[in-house]
């Protein structure tokens, strides 16, 4: 499977429709006259602005001009910790914790690649499934959740940073996460149950929680691949930045390293620093993207690199 196809699967996980999308919502409780969830600001309203910077509390909520939440670039807990005012020593310690957590999840994805892929495939086909097949698909997804237990046993990123953060900082980070969780859940409710104004029952509420958990996993998988790709791409930037790549070529180079990232997760490539043979293979793939003058320049760069490495 190509990297783009695999990332599309991850995107499907990240925005997967919950069970409510394949079956009508049931068991909605509460009075029909109960107030609806407030509608987000409109297009002209733009992002909300605090009345006074001094009164503003840190937040991980950012909205676009359509009023919708902007996606986070990390787990909510991780984003919240980095929004705290940390001294240099604490920041370095947090970065070490983040790197260890990222590696642990990357190891999980590598070990359970087939399950992650199957979960994405199930979600793509969910709407067309018969009830029995849909139940079996949800069973496989729940099995994936269960197999994540060694990772989830680490706790949240805030838990992992408990020895670094003060009690007040931990409370502030958790407040930001709770605030973001409520905002995202309200947004999903409007999407999944647009005509319901009363309180959702437990089953409907669990559908939203399930969707949010899928979003979290899908986002983490996508970030794992992207981080690997960026790490590998950095090993070749001393060459690629001298080739005067066009925007189209730059995108193709990015996709090449995304493919390499997926292949590492699949176990088709060894992670870490590349051997000379592996580097030569990647240079060969890179050459296919270039025009003739660029290929000639690449050959010169490779020759000069080899000569400098052999020099005493």
Tokens 């408990």 -> residue: 162
| Residue 183 tokens, joined | 């905002």
177: alpha, beta or left, given left = phi > 0 and alpha = psi -120 to 50?
A: alpha
Pick 9 or 230 by higher pLDDT: 230
Quick: pLDDT tens for 207-235: 888 888 888 888 888 888 787 777 777 77
Please tell me whether residue 148 adopts helix, strand or coil conformation.
Answer: coil
Confidence at 59, pLDDT banded by 50, 70, 90: very high
| pLDDT reading at 51 higher than 60 | no
- Side-chain-side CA neighbours of 152 within 13 Å: the count stands at 9
pTM higher than the cut 0.85: no
Torsions phi, psi for 69 (to 5 deg) = -65, 140
Quick: pLDDT tens for 83-127: 999 999 999 999 999 999 998 998 898 888 888 888 878 877 877
């Amino acid at each position: 499977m190509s990297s783009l196809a695999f990332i599309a699967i991850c995107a499907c996980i990240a925005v997967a429709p919950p069970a409510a999308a394949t079956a009508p919502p049931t068991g909605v409780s509460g009075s029909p006259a109960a107030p609806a969830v407030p509608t987000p600001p409109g297009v002209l309203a733009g992002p909300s602005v605090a009345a006074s910077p001094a009164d503003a509390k840190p937040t991980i909520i950012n909205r676009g001009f359509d009023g919708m939440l902007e996606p986070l670039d990390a787990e909510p807990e991780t984003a919240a910790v980095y929004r705290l005012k940390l001294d240099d020593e604490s920041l370095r310690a947090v970065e070490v914790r983040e790197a260890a957590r990222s590696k642990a999840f990357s190891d999980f994805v590598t070990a359970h690649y087939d399950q992650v892929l199957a979960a994405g495939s199930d979600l793509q086909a969910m709407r067309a499934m018969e009830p029995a097949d849909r139940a079996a698909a949800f069973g496989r997804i729940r099995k994936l959740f269960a197999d994540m237990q060694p990772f989830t046993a680490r706790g949240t990123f805030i838990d992992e940073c408990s020895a670094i953060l003060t009690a007040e900082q931990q409370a502030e980070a958790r407040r930001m996460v709770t605030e973001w969780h409520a905002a995202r859940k309200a947004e999903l409710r409007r999407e999944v149950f647009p005509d319901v104004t009363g309180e959702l029952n437990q089953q409907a509420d669990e559908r939203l929680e399930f969707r949010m958990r899928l979003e979290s996993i899908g986002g983490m998988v996508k970030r794992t691949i992207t981080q690997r790709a960026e790490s590998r791409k950095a090993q070749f930037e001393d060459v690629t930045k001298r080739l005067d790549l066009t925007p189209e070529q730059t995108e193709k180079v990015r996709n090449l390293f995304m493919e390499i990232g997926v292949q590492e997760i699949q176990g088709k490539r060894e992670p870490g620093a590349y051997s000379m043979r592996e580097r030569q293979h990647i240079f060969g793939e890179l050459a296919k993207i270039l025009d003739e003058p660029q290929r000639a320049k690449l050959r010169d760069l490779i020759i000069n690199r080899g000569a400098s490495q052999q020099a005493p």
